[in-house]
Amino acid sequence: MVYSKRNDGRKFEEMRKMEAKVGVVKSADGSAMFKIGDTIAIAAVRGPRDLHPKFMQNPQKGILRCNYNMMSFSVDERIRPGPSRRSREISLVTRNALLPAVNLDEFPNAVVDVFVEIQQADAGTRCAGICAASMALADAGIPMKDLICAISIGRVGGKVLVDLDKFEEDYEEGSTDMPVAMLPRKAEVSLLQLDGEIKPEEIDKALELAKKSCQEILEIQKKALKEKYQNE
């Protein structure tokens, strides 16, 4: 069946409402919150600091580590605490999405830790986590060549659309979820995953939508960063 109207009334090219805030975790070197619809991600950065054990150190440059976690109350059904296959995968793709923007050449033997906690989940948590993490890295003063923006492009009932919510991810006739992260300045893609099917001719449209959406996300990220530093 054709998905002619979105469940929550959004246009096919419209993202959910977004909010961002920088400096939400006082004990961290940098932190940020990114909310998209009912999905809320909090990211905290610690470092650069000496990496222990020492044999893991890289004398050429610092190391980036990422840890993604869904809080046990982030969805109706309690999430079992501790790492899972899914959280390990998302930690890995988060790191890979951030790395092309981050320059740790000045920090040999050091580590920068990024902790992403999902406080509320309604689909798109890896994208919200990446958006929050990139702002938290900037807040921590880590040298970066760009921010990183991420959004999920979907295909539901034959329609290509932006930012699936949980209803759309679980669409009974099946759906496709394609999370994309970009360094927006040059539209450099640093993450592209595909869960489901998409026609080759639809990929260009999907990437074009991702590029346009990432520009909107970038403005929200920049505004939140400026807000923190204007108030200090």
Nearer to ligand UDP, 54 or 80 (CB): 80
Q: DSSP assignment of 38-62, as one string?
A: TEEEEEEEEEEEE-SSGGG--SSS-
CB of 108 to ligand UDP, least distance (A): 33
Provide the residue type at 152 as one letter.
S
**Which residues of this chain interact with ligand UDP, rule CB under 6 A?**
75, 79, 86, 121-126, 166, 169, 177
Q: DSSP assignment of 170-201, as one string?
A: T-TT-EEEEEEEEETTTTEEEEE--BS---HH
Peptide bond into 48 cis (omega under 30): yes
Nearer to ligand UDP, 166 or 211 (CB): 166
CB of 31 to ligand UDP, least distance (A): 20
Nearest to 136 by CA among 6, 12, 20, 15: 20
Residue with tokens 């989940």: 121
CB of 83 to ligand UDP, least distance (A): 12
Provide the residue type at 197 as one letter.
E
CB of 166 to ligand UDP, least distance (A): 5
Nearer to ligand UDP, 180 or 218 (CB): 180
CB of 161 to ligand UDP, least distance (A): 14
Nearer to ligand UDP, 63 or 128 (CB): 128
CB of 33 to ligand UDP, least distance (A): 16
CA atoms within 13 A on the CB side of 127: 32
Query: If you count them, how many residues does the chain have?
Result: 232
Nearer to ligand UDP, 117 or 177 (CB): 177
Nearer to ligand UDP, 62 or 124 (CB): 124
Cβ-proximal residue to ligand UDP, closest one: 125
What backbone phi and psi angles, to 5 degrees, belong to 104? -105, 20
